[in-house]
């Protein structure tokens, strides 16, 4: 017979096993127009997904600190689906080779 995990071991397991990697949020059609946003909770953290003036989809982690600026979260759109990555270790973005290109290529680990 196994005992149920305590809260501390559950949080550690969520942080190491499930939180790292790419997670499906919603379809891109959920925020069709410039300025639209979507508020979701991913593993207990509030995340805002918005479509900016350039029609790009961006995600931000909502900090609970007073006067804290929203922290950008890695976001990718594949086949009309929005994915986010909350793992800070995966946030090492590289500069694009050409300055005219602003797209960041990101492939979900499960793909």
- Statement: the pTM of the whole predicted model exceeds 0.85: no
Tell me which residue has tokens 């946003």.
37
Q: How far apart are CA 91 and CA 105, in angstroms?
A: 12
Q: How far apart are CA 60 and CA 57, in angstroms?
A: 10
pLDDT at residue number 98 = 44
DSSP-based three-state secondary structure for 36: coil
Query: What is the 8-class DSSP label of residue 69?
Result: P
Which residues of the chain fall below pLDDT 70? 1-5, 14-19, 64-68, 88-111
User: What's the token pair of residue 87?
Assistant: 């793992």
User: Given the DSSP bridges, would you call strands 22-27 and 37-42 parallel, antiparallel or unpaired?
Assistant: unpaired
Q: How far apart are CA 18 and CA 12, in angstroms?
A: 10
pLDDT at residue number 78 = 93
pLDDT at residue number 94 = 42
pLDDT at residue number 97 = 45
């Amino acid at each position: 017979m196994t005992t149920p995990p305590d809260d501390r071991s559950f949080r550690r397991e969520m942080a190491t096993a499930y939180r790292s990697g790419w997670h499906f949020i919603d379809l891109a059609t959920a925020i069709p127009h410039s300025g639209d946003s979507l508020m979701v909770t991913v593993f207990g953290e509030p995340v805002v997904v918005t479509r900016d003036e350039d029609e790009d989809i961006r995600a931000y982690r909502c900090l609970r600190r007073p006067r804290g600026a929203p922290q950008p979260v890695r976001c990718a759109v594949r086949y009309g689906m929005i994915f986010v990555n909350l793992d800070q270790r995966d946030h090492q973005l590289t500069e694009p080779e050409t300055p005219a290109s602003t797209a960041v290529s990101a492939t979900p680990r499960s793909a």
